[in-house]
Every structure is written in structure tokens, then in C-alpha cells.
Amino acid sequence: MKLLKNGEQPASNKVIKLKTEELSDKVEPKKVLIRWLASPINPADINQVQGVYPAKPPLPAVGGIEGDHVIPLRCGVGTWQTCNYYDEQDLIKIDNDIPVEAAACFQVNPSTAYRMLTDFVDLQPGDLVIQNGANSTVGKAVVQIAHARGLRTLNVIRKSDHSDSAAKELKKLGADMVHTEDEMIKELFLTTQETTFLLRFTAFTAFLYALVYDLLSNYSTLYLQIKDAKLALNCIGGKSTLILASCLSKGGVMVTYGGMSKHAIQVPTGPLIFKDIQLKGFWVTGWYARPENMAVSPIQCFSMVLSLEKMAKMFHDLSKLVREGKLKSPDYDKRRLEDYQVAFDIAESGSGKKQLFVM
């Protein structure tokens, strides 16, 4: 079998090496032989190679968090290999009538989108969800799943040479509104200069900030459309979270699942106090690892069988959306394991298409 294995010391992708090893013909009890069809390179995979991801398998280790056509339920089982034996309790089957590209990527990005749209707020058709990083893989999944549920989405992207094409793609996927951060700041806070003034003013009096904020914001046409978001999804951090939090309705929830800007989240004092907005965090790997969601056999614990059904329902729902053409896979560059260095260089750069190993 061929596999991509991390070196002893985490660092860059240069520690990854392609190896060929013999696979034993002896199958141990409660083990299953899996031949992997495809496995993507996610940011979490890169972080794991670098040694900065919270879930760290013992080194040396085979890389890869997810793959097709079963879902590894434990982080670190290794999917960047042609085949291997796995504990049966660490796997869950998914439908085999969907494209390999879609099934290979269910565990991380679509599942993150699904859980955030399901677990934090009781959303009803017509409710508004706002998110930043909307043109990310998770962001696109949020747009499509929300659209299928009859939810409205306001999608915030960064201004760049590709902003127009990104907005068109999101609209095609079902986005209701797409705006750049600059457009949102202009509409919500009139000008960036006035935003800075108001934020500094907040340090002296939260009450006056909230009063001025509401008076100014009510003159914004866009604000009138988006001031009642029930849920905000943040993967950027920094000033971008000011925009999200300012659009939340009373009791709204902002869920942070990433920090691409590497800056701490910022929250306007007025909405935090007077709208009682809530701040939550989400990590899909942590969700899988929770005791109530862990895979166990019916003999071990009957109550946890229900949680497996909850997990299976998620994968069934995602599969159904794929079949119906309502959840499209990202645009992939398909690579053989032998081309791993090119794939890692592109994945680490953050430019180009998402990389998918095809075994």
C-alpha cells in the first residue's frame, strides 16, 4: 500500500514523505479493510502537519482527516493512503450513490455548515443568517444548505479583484445578498472614520454608543433589510465580526469557527448589552469527539446509538442535497499521491483550487 506519512517532528509539508509498506493479510477482530477512493487536503490537515492543530496523532502518522466512502469518526486515523485496517467503531458508512468528490469531503466542511445551521438557533424559513468568509468552502456550503431550508443569507466577502466573480458564484449557489466588508461598513456605520470614532467613544459610554448607533443606522436602507439576523457565522475575526454582531437581532447568536485574519474577534458594546447577543464557538472535530456523539456499539451503550442516528441523519441529509443538485462540491484539482508536493504547495498557498487525492 502507498501512504503519505508525517515525519517525527512537525514543521512544514516537507516532512511528508510518500512510502510503500506491506499490508498484513491477517484481519484482527473488529477490524475492517478500507480501500480509500479519495481524500482532500483541508486547512486542518495542513495545521496538523505543522503541529499546531489541537488534535495531534502520535508521530510518525499518516495524514488526512476525511475520505470516501466511509467517514472516519476519530481524528488522526489517516486517509492519505490507498488502504488499511481500521477499527469498525471508528467508521460510519454513507450513501454510495453520490459522487466520490462529494462523499470524500462530508466530514469537515459541509458538516460544519450543517451543524452550525442546526445546533445553535431554531431557524425557521425566512430567517436571516449572516456570515463572513462566504466564498470559503464552508461558506458556500452554508449558502446552499440554508437556501435548501428556505433561509435567507447575507454573505460578506473581502474586496479584491475577484469580488464580482465571487459574488456571482454565491448568487448562483443561492445567496440572497452579497456585499464586501467595505460596503457593509459604509452602510452600517456611514464611514470608516466615523466607525473608528464611535468605537473609541464606546470606551467611555456604552449607552450613548448604542443610542448614536441606532439613530445613524436607521438611515441605512441596507441596515433596514439586515438588522434582524438570527445567526451570524464568523471564520475571519477582527473588524469583520463588528459587522456580523451589528446585524444580529435581539438574542441573536454569533458562532465563531475560524480566525483567518489571526486577529481577535471584536464585538460592539451596544448590541452586546442591549440586544443580549450571544457568542459561541464551534469546532467540528470537537463535536465528533463529544461523548454523546462518539461511535459505540449498541451493546456498550444504548443511549449513544441515538447519537449515531443523529450523525447518520446529517450524512443522509447532505447526501440527499447532493443527489438533488442542491449541494455542489468545490472545484477540485485531482492529484495522485505521487504528486503530493505540488498539492501541498497549492493548498498551503491558499490560492488555486482545492486539492483532492484520488487513489
**What amino acid positions are annotated as catalytic residues?**
53
By the 10 Å C-beta count (0-12 exposed, 13-18 middle, 19+ buried), 292 is classed as exposed
| E strand or H helix at 167 | helix 163-173
Handedness of CA 25, 26, 32, 38 (dihedral sign): negative
List strands edge to edge, sheet with 278-281.
177-180, 152-157, 128-132, 229-234, 248-256, 278-281
Cis peptide before 147 (omega within 30 of 0): no
* C-alpha atoms less than 13 angstroms from C-alpha of 51 in its C-beta half-sphere: 13
* Whole-angstrom distance, CA of residue 215 vs CA of residue 235: 29
| E strand or H helix at 39 | strand 38-40
Nearest alpha carbon to residue 16 among 256, 330, 339, 300: 339
Q: Which residues of 243-253 are buried (b: 16+ CB within 10 A; e: fewer)?
A: bbbbbbbeebb
For residue 61, give the 3-state DSSP assignment.
coil
Beta carbons of 254 and 244 less than 8 angstroms apart: yes
How far is CA 12 from its chain centroid?
23
* Whole-angstrom distance, CA of residue 185 vs CA of residue 187: 5
| E strand or H helix at 348 | helix 340-349
